[in-house]
Structure 1
């Protein structure tokens, strides 16, 4: 090779290197929709969703998803929304911050922490929210549907902050915020056929996810499957648990605890058209009364599989043990509580209603508590379809 040819070759090599370098620096890397999701999530798949719909609900359950039917893709999108802190104004709080899977989607704190302080009522457990009579939500039943309920914490000034108090924290600003995140257009397209984030889509998907959270694999369920009769002694129960079951299901006038009057099994949800239960406290303010609490979560999963409470009890978190709860219903003081549910009256005296006095023995109280612990399942605490889908930082 001559000297001139050698110089030309070197020049061509340099120019091609420069060209390739420029091309590499300017070309945009186009990710597939699944690759976009893989950058953010552990197990969100566009081709195979985790199973949310058509799950095995025992045939003895009377109230099946009193909201809309659960669909896999909507529940999957709802799961992402449920765990996404971008749904709060300062990116610090998600729905899962106050509804924790390891506590049956309840909260160990008395008052849940929001973006601007703490809540005024204790956060309900969400397990089996769709398996009960009625369609109202919150302690005071102010939401007429689950779709209505899921937006209210987002719009609450204290909880998640999109209250509409200024132009930067309206629901429309939330929509714009989520639209700008690369994974929501992908997920909304999968569910709704286009990439547009909408308030209606947020509501529907969150409702689908919450409705999917169910717990029907408890010791109680095992016993009911074996016998087919809730009033028959269960062979898998201890003598104490069977005595507690009988106390629970026997009306107070017949010597039982009468719990069944308000929390009938096998759902153990609160009945419709119930009134105040005698607990009227207000969180963090002993000088105020709160008479508006007529709805409660199911008695299922009051405790975790180890028997530990999944959070304090009642709307004001005033009771910290199952024994305190049993003692409350054993002897109700109704002073200044004229809205008490009539089912909790023992009589009506000259000065008005008299609260029930069950006169349970200490052994009966223990039996009742042991039965309540049999209502806790297992999979709700660990199943990945209800877990945090986001990739956690190392």
Structure 2
């Protein structure tokens, strides 16, 4: 396909897909067709509060936002993040940019197929221990149910649910609904605002001789497949999205590459289709990757810590 045509088709597909995001919110107990827009908005509001609530961790020291910080495109700027036991994390915190559209949610091939399932991993996982709530699931529900504001929001978000509305299922469902709102579509590349000649040169390399788009495929700049890209990795890992990559250092599954330059050079020709690139090529590639930063995404008050906690 002609490159310009390919870019146009990708951009059109990208925008069309995001207009359908509300329909991606899957409900455990209530079919999406019976969920009103008002209910969904309440569910997203509820999920946002829960995303920033440290009561979801054993000692009240960690929330989802502890590791997924908005100013870093919902990463945290560290190689890995320790959990409540201060154990070292295993994987670099991935960005949540456009995570609602992803089919693969983990660095490795694990049977986690939805954001609802993924929300349980940091809360109740044991390898490593993150938020430390394994076998404390009822404690999570109890803490949330002790808050009158939460009770009101759960009743509004899940009016058709029979029985206890504050349950682990509805908690993770609400968090997932908020995470599906985390859409990043206003980068320089998307809107061509301040899209410099250097960025354009880097774009030509990215889609041309650099073969970067083979795995980092628009519109999300990931093919969501598992690849081994050098001899040090030892196994295959999920291709990370390059959306907001300027803000998500360090890089790779273990955070072993501190800069974008190191990450580009970490792709070995033996394992990938990326050829040996000149210093000029790498420089322009970096400029293009900078164009994928969406400052609206990392400054929008819609995604930020709520002004008021739920109390």
Equivalent in the alignment of 1:215? 184
Aligned length: 276
Instruction: Note the 1:203-282 alignment, pairs <5 A.
Output: 203-223=172-192, 236-250=194-208, 256-268=209-221, 270-278=222-230, 280-281=232-233
Instruction: Note the 1:59-208 alignment, pairs <5 A.
Output: 59-61=12-14, 63-64=17-18, 65=21, 67-68=24-25, 71-117=40-86, 118-132=88-102, 135-142=103-110, 143-157=112-126, 158-164=129-135, 169=136, 171-193=137-159, 196-208=165-177
CA 1:208/1:262 → structure 2, altered by over 3 Å: closer, same or farther? same
Q: CA deviation at 1:73?
A: 1.2
Distance 1:325 1:96 in 2: 25
Question: Which structure has the greater CA radius of gyration?
Answer: 1
Equivalent in the alignment of 1:321? 259
Q: CA deviation at 1:102?
A: 0.7
Distance 1:324 1:109 in 2: 16
TM-score (norm 2): 0.82
CA 1:315/1:89 → structure 2, altered by over 3 Å: closer, same or farther? same
Q: CA deviation at 1:259?
A: 0.6
CA 1:199/1:114 → structure 2, altered by over 3 Å: closer, same or farther? same
Q: CA deviation at 1:272?
A: 4.1
Equivalent in the alignment of 1:8? none
Distance 2:124 2:239 in 1: 22
Q: Which 4+ stretches in 1 moved above 6 angstroms?
A: none
Gaps of 5+ in 2: 1-10, 27-36
Q: CA deviation at 1:63?
A: 4.6
* 8 A Cα contact 1:67 1:145, kept in partner: no
Distance 2:142 2:302 in 1: 27
CA 1:75/1:296 → structure 2, altered by over 3 Å: closer, same or farther? farther
Pick aligned residue for 1:302 from 214, 231, 245: 245
RMSD over equivalenced CA pairs, Å: 2.3
TM-score (norm 1): 0.65
Distance 2:236 2:131 in 1: 23
Determine which structure has the larger helix proportion and give its number.
2
Q: CA deviation at 1:130?
A: 2.2
Equivalent in the alignment of 2:34? none
Q: CA deviation at 1:183?
A: 2.2
